[in-house]
Amino acid sequence: MSDISNLKFGTRAIHAGADADASTGAIMTPIFQTSTYVQEYPGKHKGYAYARGKNPTREALQKNIASLENGKHCLCFSSGMGAIDTVIKLLAPGDEVITGDDLYGGSYRMFTKIFMNYGIKFHFINMTDAGNIEQYINAKTKLIWAETPTNPTMQIIDIEACAKLAAKHNLILAVDNTFASPYLQNPLNLGAHIVMHSATKYLGGHSDVVMGALIVNDAKIYEQLAFIHNTCGATPGPMDSFLVMRGLKTLHLRMERHCYNGRKIAEFLEKHPAIEKVYWPGFTTHPNHLIAKKQMRDFGGMISIVLKDKSIENTFRVASSFKVFSLAESLGGVESLINHPATMTHASIPKDIREAAGVVDNLLRLSVGVEDVEDLLNDLEQALK
Ligand SMILES: *Cc1c(COP(=O)(O)O)cnc(C)c1O
């Protein structure tokens, strides 16, 4: 399909980057399982020299994801962390980064345990009030790293307000868009420079692959990222690229059901006597509900709950008594998952910092899947008894 930019999201999810194979007509992008490409004489080849640099299956996927994020360029990585690592490598010792106080645990670990040793300084601040951010900007600040909605307390950060600050102070704004997916939120349209995804989650959608992605419009930032991508080498293989490409073809259908099920479950949990608090940006009582409404198309299937009973024993009992939900790390797949951040996804964050961000021992995070919602509601009912 030649020009797909005018087509709607669901059509692009299926067709962007997915041209029929020129040599066979295969409708699905072939898995080009090769590490190298034959050259006629040194330097004369068909545009492909070595597969760390370029692979046609990966290129098809990158075109698809770029289209879904309304971006010009996309780079795919062997994991979400590989993508984040590449963004931070745009910086040099002495540079400073402003980021949130409720981050994916792996991002926090990479920033504090790896990049702080390379002389990069991170400010972990409350970004939910955009007016709080500017006081941390100084001459050394280079990057704002925003994750929204946040993991796991579902804070909402105003992307447009961050973009205005970035423009005013000549900073790069990068948004971890993993929780929203491009179906719900397109940060480039709101002024962000870089969008990051753990494609392991909603993009892949079937819990069968680990992958990361960066999407950008700016040609200079793209060149720098592409250089690090090829030089440092966190590139994904063709089989994984194929799997994510296949997953993306149903992203819009899955997201619609994630949102539908998410709403039903959030409303059910809100009234449940065993529950103290429900974190979900679709509630009008969510502190940044209006910002969520402004920058997201719907509210998704990620929900966190705080149990009334504070004991870890009770939390563990609840977490392990589900029959349809599975107790597991990760999120965004077709199957519903439950996770205990304090001991699982966020275990690498020191207890005092974790608890200050609201990630208490009696908090559980749900990734609501696309099963029949009645079965999910019944499962919650029996597990919370
Ligand atoms: C999972 C996740 C990551 C890391 O991605 P991987 O694919 O696991 O490396 C980063 N950010 C968020 C919000 C995530 O959920």
- Is the pLDDT higher at 31 or at 357? 31
> What Å distances lie between residue 171 and 295, 352, 385, CA to CA?
21, 30, 50
* Residue of the CA atom closest to atom 6 of ligand 1: 80
Alpha carbon distance 7, 19 (integer Å)? 15
pLDDT in tens, 177-187: 999 999 999 99
pLDDT in tens, 104-132: 989 999 999 999 999 999 999 999 999 99
List the strands of the sheet with 73-77, edge to edge: 73-77, 212-216, 194-198, 172-176, 141-147, 96-100, 121-125
Could you confirm whether 58 is annotated as catalytic?
A: no
Number of neighbouring beta carbons within 10 Å of residue 277 = 16
Q: Is 81 in the pocket of ligand 1 (CB under 6 A)?
A: yes
Q: Return all residues near 297 (Cβ < 8 A) that are at least 6 apart.
A: 183, 184, 185
Residue 350 has pLDDT above 90, yes or no: no
Give the ligand 1 atom nearest the CA of 83: 9
Give 348 Cα–ligand 1 centroid separation in angstroms.
14
Give the ligand 1 atom nearest the CA of 81: 9
Give 71 Cα–ligand 1 centroid separation in angstroms.
20
pLDDT, residue 357, reads 86
Is residue 180 within 8 A of residue 148, CB to CB? The reply is yes
Percentage of residues in the chain having pLDDT higher than 70: 99
Is residue 167 within 8 A of residue 191, CB to CB? The reply is yes
pLDDT in tens, 288-297: 999 999 999 9
Is residue 321 within 8 A of residue 383, CB to CB? The reply is yes
Spell out the SS3 assignment of the chain.
Answer: CCCCCCCCHHHHHHHCCCCCCCCCCCCCCCCCCCCECCCCECCECCCCCECCCCCHHHHHHHHHHHHHCCCCEEEEECCHHHHHHHHHCCCCCCCEEEEECCCCHHHHHHHHHHHHHHCCEEEEECCCCHHHCHHHCCCCEEEEEEECCCCCCCCCCCHHHHHHHHHHHCCEEEEECCCCHHHHCCHHHHCCCEEEEECCCCCCCCCCCCCEEEEECCHHHHHHHHHHHHHHCCCCCHHHHHHHHHHHCCHHHHHHHHHHHHHHHHHHHHCCCCEEEEECCCCCCCCCHHHHHHHCCCCCCEEEEEECCCCHHHHHHHHCCCCCCEECCCCCCCCCEEECCCCCCCCCCCHHHHHHCCCCCCEEEEECCCCCHHHHHHHHHHHCC
pLDDT in tens, 215-273: 999 999 999 999 999 999 999 999 999 999 999 999 999 999 999 999 999 999 999 99
Average pLDDT across the chain, whole number: 96
Name the residue with tokens 């996927």: 61
Give 198 Cα–ligand 1 centroid separation in angstroms.
5
pLDDT, residue 2, reads 61
Could you confirm whether 52 is annotated as catalytic?
A: yes
- Is the pLDDT higher at 54 or at 3? 54
Domains parsed from the chain with CATH numbers: 9-248 (3.40.640.10), 251-383 (3.90.1150.10)
Residue 1 has pLDDT above 70, yes or no: no
* Residues written for the chain: 385
Could you confirm whether 246 is annotated as catalytic?
A: no
pLDDT in tens, 146-155: 999 998 999 9
pLDDT, residue 348, reads 81
Alpha carbon distance 111, 93 (integer Å)? 13
Closest CA to 202 of 261, 235, 238, 247: 247
Q: Is 104 in the pocket of ligand 1 (CB under 6 A)?
A: yes
pLDDT in tens, 21-62: 999 999 999 999 999 999 999 999 999 999 999 999 999 999
Residue 3 has pLDDT above 90, yes or no: no
Q: Is 149 in the pocket of ligand 1 (CB under 6 A)?
A: no
Which region holds residue 349: left if phi is over 0, alpha if psi is between -120 and 50, else beta? Answer: beta
pLDDT, residue 4, reads 82
Could you confirm whether 50 is annotated as catalytic?
A: no
Give 104 Cα–ligand 1 centroid separation in angstroms.
7
